[in-house]
C-alpha cells in the first residue's frame, strides 16, 4: 500500500467516523423528541438498537413530530455513509462487482429502512 493510498484510507475512515458520530447525534435527538411525548413504559432506550426498533422510532417520530426534519436529515446522512463506503472500496481497489454490490445493497438497505 503506497503512501497516497494510505492517506486516502485514513481520510475516508476519519470522514466516516465523523459522519457516524453526527448520525448518532441526530438519532438521539429524534429519540429525545419522541421520548418526551411518550408514556414512560413506551419510551425508547439508548441501548440495543436493531432494525425493528429503528423502524418503530421512525414511525413514532413521523407520527408525533409531523413537521420534524430529523428523519430526512438521518436519511441523507445514511445515504452519504453508503456513498463513502463505496468510495473507500473503490480507493482500496476492490473489484468492480464488489463495489457495485456495496453501493446497490447499501442503497437498498437505506431505502428499505426509511420507506414510509
Range of the domain at 108: 3-114
- Number of domains forming the structure of the chain: 1
What does pTM read for this prediction? 0.84
Give me the torsion for CA of 31, 32, 36, 40, rounded to 10°.
60
Res 75: pLDDT: 93
**pLDDT over threshold 70, residue 1:** no
Q: State the CB neighbour count (10 A cutoff) for residue 51.
A: 10
Reported as a single tens digit per residue, the pLDDT across 84-113 is 888 888 888 889 888 899 899 989 989 998
Reported as a single tens digit per residue, the pLDDT across 4-50 is 878 888 888 899 899 999 999 999 999 999 999 999 999 999 999 99
Amino acid at each position: 500500500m503506497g503512501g497516497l493510498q494510505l492517506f486516502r484510507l485514513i481520510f475516508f475512515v476519519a470522514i466516516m467516523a465523523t459522519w457516524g458520530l453526527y448520525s448518532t447525534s441526530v438519532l438521539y435527538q429524534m429519540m429525545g423528541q419522541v421520548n418526551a411525548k411518550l408514556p414512560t413504559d413506551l419510551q425508547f432506550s439508548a441501548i440495543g438498537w436493531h432494525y425493528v426498533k429503528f423502524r418503530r422510532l421512525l414511525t413514532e417520530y413521523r407520527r408525533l413530530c409531523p413537521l420534524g426534519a430529523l428523519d430526512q436529515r438521518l436519511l441523507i446522512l445514511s445515504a452519504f455513509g453508503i456513498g463513502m463506503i463505496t468510495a473507500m472500496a473503490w480507493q482500496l481497489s476492490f473489484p468492480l462487482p464488489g463495489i457495485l454490490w456495496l453501493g446497490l445493497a447499501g442503497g437498498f438497505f437505506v431505502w428499505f429502512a426509511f420507506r414510509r
